[in-house]
């Protein structure tokens, strides 16, 4: 179980975060920056949730001290509403930030992303959705009985969608993530891949929709 | 006769000498004041004159400068205190909001609630969200009137930002049965402040969600030297005084059923001005139209 250090001076906030995350993670509370840094030195954590406004040592200072010795993912919790100041947070070394008040699902998703980005080989891809399963070793997709070979890019598109079930990808973003190069409006390439992918998915399972097109500019898992 | 004439000449010479002397002092003073004015320094006049009148003038001017500098210092100090106070209040409001909203979200996810309790919780949640939104608007409004927002212009892909912003509320629009017609020219790059532009379109798209019905159109295009964003939507009820919508705190929702602060469009208009743009609003029965025109900077 991944271990998360929560540095937050407000007791109610601590209780809330503990309640939300204790089912999936081991959580440890620190009520000040100094206590947080002490715990950070004594124990091993996979992620830190750090409130920006702490009494005594501020969140920014705590982050600076953490960064002297560690690249551990840090998500800052801030009360700021000025996005230029938010951008500064990322510059001083936070991996991500969330503004109070936040959506719990969103914070949860961000924690998952950070843990995934930092866990090296242990990336666990989600391979199953509805009735179909991705077979990474063969670049194929299966319904349990039959399987269908996918092209490399088709496989990558589907894997990206499986791993981000709620997210809407613009065609541009999808292209940049899957092809890993800049998009110059080559909509056709994306459309052809999506359309072929749809045909293959329908061959294996025609009872369910898998890819939803949104206003002609984006796609997501249906 | 000659004696009188020579006395007169001496007197005249004396007067002219005195005048030149005063003129010299006068020039010195002007030079120093101009420096202080121009450089906005806290310096005082340095008087090298032996003329009593000039010294007295110097002293008076220095008193004035001193008083003015004190007022400025006091203003800057109180301004900083106010900013700090707003910063702290923002934090002090947001933390309890987070806790209240967090537990509401946790409770809404549990399955053992009866339908009444679920409805009540959903109402708490809605109201907390409205509170958050209005707090954000109020803080942004404060930064605007304090002139604390300086655009950071960069080459920005405005098409991408517009697409992403509308996609972010896709599910909410679908839930409300609002069909959106998109006509966004792809890959438009414009000199913009990304965060401010984002804020503007979030407000406008948020309005479609709050006040719109059935259909909306979003049109983004470059025409000549102008970038045009045109958003049209159907309304739930007609608007009586469309031009007032840009006034701060103006809202037609007098019963405040939608918890509308009346700040949204005012902020859109002010932020657009900051980006060298202009806002026009038009309504016709149940049709609402907002047009933003940005000029090349």
Mean pLDDT value of segment A187-212: 93
Closest-CA residue to A8 (of A68, A72, A74, A67): A74
Note whether A108 contacts B: Cβ–Cβ < 8 A: no
- Count, in order, helices (H) and strands (E) of chain A: 8, 12
Domains and CATH numbers, chain B: 1-148 (no CATH), 154-295 (3.30.565.10)
- Label residue A184 by pLDDT band (50, 70, 90): confident
- DSSP states along B244-282: GGGSTT--S-TT-TT---S-HHHHHHHHHHHTTEEEEEE
Calculate what percentage of chain A has a pLDDT beyond 70: 92
**What confidence score (pLDDT) does residue B254 get?**
46
A33-56 b/e with 16+ CB inside 10 Å = b?
bbbbbebbeeeebbbbbbbbbbee
Nearest chain A residue to B136, by CA: A81
Pairing of strands A3-7, A26-30: parallel
Indicate if the pLDDT at residue A91 is higher than 50: yes
**What confidence score (pLDDT) does residue A126 get?**
74
A80 chain-B contacts, CB cut-off 8 A: 90
A184 chain-B contacts, CB cut-off 8 A: 187
Q: Mutate which of B87, B92, B94, B187 to disrupt the A interface (most A C-beta within 10 Å)?
A: B94
Question: Could you give the CA distance from residue B170 to residue B185 in angstroms, rounded to a whole number?
Answer: 19
How many whole angstroms from its chain centre is CA B5? 72
For A88, phi then psi, to 5°, come to: -60, -35
Structure tokens at A56: 């005594």
CB contact under 8 A, A215 and B186: no
CB contact under 8 A, A81 and B139: yes
Note whether A104 contacts B: Cβ–Cβ < 8 A: yes
Q: Hey, where are the domains in chain A?
A: 3-122, 128-221
Question: Could you give the CA distance from residue B173 to residue A122 in angstroms, rounded to a whole number?
Answer: 38
A217 chain-B contacts, CB cut-off 8 A: 163, 167, 182, 184
**What confidence score (pLDDT) does residue B238 get?**
81
Q: Mutate which of A215, A218, A220 to disrupt the B interface (most B C-beta within 10 Å)?
A: A215
A81 chain-B contacts, CB cut-off 8 A: 90, 136, 139-140
Neighbours of B236 (CB within 10 A): 11
A87 chain-B contacts, CB cut-off 8 A: 195
Would the pTM of this model clear 0.90, i.e. be above it? no
Indicate if the pLDDT at residue A115 is higher than 50: yes
Closest-CA residue to A75 (of A83, A86, A85): A86
Q: Of A82, A101, A218, which is closest to B167 when you measure between CB atoms?
A: A218
CB contact under 8 A, A104 and B143: no
Q: What end-to-end distance do the CA atoms of chain B give, in Å?
A: 77
Minimum distance, in Å, between the CA of residue A185 and any CA atom of chain B: 8
**What confidence score (pLDDT) does residue A5 get?**
97
Q: Report which listed range, A76-80, A89-93, A127-131, is most confident.
A: A127-131
Q: Where are the beta strands (DSSP E) in A17-70?
A: 26-30, 47-51
At the second CATH level, the architecture of A128-221 is Orthogonal Bundle (1.10)
Note whether A128 contacts B: Cβ–Cβ < 8 A: no
Count chain A–chain B contacts defined by CB atoms under 8 A. Answer: 81
pLDDT in tens, A193-205: 999 999 999 999 9
pLDDT in tens, B33-79: 888 888 877 888 888 888 888 889 889 999 999 998 899 889 888 88
Q: Of B99, B105, B186, which is closest to A13 when you measure between CB atoms?
A: B99
Mean pLDDT value of segment A120-140: 80
Indicate if the pLDDT at residue A187 is higher than 80: yes
The CATH T-level fold of domain A3-122 is Rossmann fold (3.40.50)
Minimum distance, in Å, between the CA of residue A188 and any CA atom of chain B: 14
**What confidence score (pLDDT) does residue A123 get?**
54
Indicate if the pLDDT at residue A171 is higher than 80: yes
A16 chain-B contacts, CB cut-off 8 A: 98-99, 102-103, 106
Note whether A211 contacts B: Cβ–Cβ < 8 A: no
Nearest chain A residue to B199, by CA: A83
Q: Give the residues of chain B that fall short of pLDDT 70.
A: 248-262, 297
Phi-psi domain of B259 (left: phi exceeds 0; alpha: psi -120 through 50; beta: other): left
Indicate if the pLDDT at residue A85 is higher than 70: no
**What confidence score (pLDDT) does residue B284 get?**
87
């Amino acid at each position: 179980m991944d271990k998360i250090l929560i540095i937050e001076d407000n007791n109610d906030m601590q209780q809330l975060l503990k309640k939300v995350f204790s089912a999936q993670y081991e959580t440890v509370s620190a009520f000040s920056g100094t206590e947080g840094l002490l715990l950070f030195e004594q124990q091993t954590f996979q992620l830190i949730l750090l409130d920006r406004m702490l009494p005594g040592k501020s969140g920014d200072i705590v982050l600076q001290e953490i960064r002297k010795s560690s690249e551990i993912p840090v998500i800052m919790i801030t009360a700021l509403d000025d996005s230029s100041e938010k951008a500064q947070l990322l510059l001083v070394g936070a991996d991500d930030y969330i503004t109070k008040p936040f959506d719990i699902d969103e914070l949860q998703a961000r924690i998952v992303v950070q843990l995934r980005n930092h866990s090296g080989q242990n990336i666990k891809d989600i391979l199953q959705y509805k009735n179909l399963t991705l077979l990474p070793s063969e670049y194929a997709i299966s319904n349990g009985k039959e399987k269908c070979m996918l092209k490399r890019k088709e496989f990558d598109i589907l894997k990206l969608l499986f791993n981000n079930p709620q997210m809407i990808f613009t065609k541009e973003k999808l292209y940049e993530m899957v092809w890993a190069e800049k998009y110059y409006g080559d909509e056709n390439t994306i459309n052809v891949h999506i359309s072929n992918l749809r045909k293959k998915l329908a061959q294996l399972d025609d009872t369910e929709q898998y890819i939803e097109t949104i206003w002609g500019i984006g796609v997501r898992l249906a | 006769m000659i004696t009188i004439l020579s006395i007169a000449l001496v007197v005249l010479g004396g007067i002219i000498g005195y005048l030149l002397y005063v003129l010299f002092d006068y020039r010195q003073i002007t030079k120093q004041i101009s420096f202080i004015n121009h450089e906005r320094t806290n310096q005082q006049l340095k008087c090298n004159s032996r003329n009593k009148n000039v010294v007295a003038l110097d002293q008076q001017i220095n008193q004035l400068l001193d008083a003015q500098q004190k007022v400025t210092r006091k203003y800057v100090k109180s301004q900083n205190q106010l900013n700090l106070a707003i910063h702290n209040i923002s934090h002090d409001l947001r933390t309890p909001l987070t806790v209240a909203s967090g537990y509401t979200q946790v409770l809404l996810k549990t399955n053992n609630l009866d339908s009444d309790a679920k409805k009540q919780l959903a109402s708490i949640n809605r109201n907390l969200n409205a509170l958050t939104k209005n707090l954000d608007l109020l803080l942004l409004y404060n930064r605007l009137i304090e002139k604390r927002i300086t655009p950071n212009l960069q080459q920005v892909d405005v098409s991408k930002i517009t697409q992403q912003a509308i996609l972010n509320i896709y599910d909410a629009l679908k839930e409300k049965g609002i069909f959106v017609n998109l006509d966004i020219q792809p890959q438009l790059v414009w000199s913009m402040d990304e965060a401010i532009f984002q804020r503007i379109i979030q407000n406008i798209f948020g309005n479609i969600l709050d006040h719109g019905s059935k259909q909306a159109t979003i049109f983004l295009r470059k025409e000549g030297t102008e970038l045009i964003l045109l958003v049209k939507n159907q309304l739930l009820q007609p608007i009586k005084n469309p031009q007032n919508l840009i006034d701060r705190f103006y809202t037609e929702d007098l019963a405040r059923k939608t918890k509308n602060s009346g700040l949204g469009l005012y902020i859109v208009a002010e932020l657009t001005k900051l980006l060298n743009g202009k806002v026009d609003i038009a309504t016709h029965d149940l049709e609402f139209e907002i047009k933003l025109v940005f000029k090349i900077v």
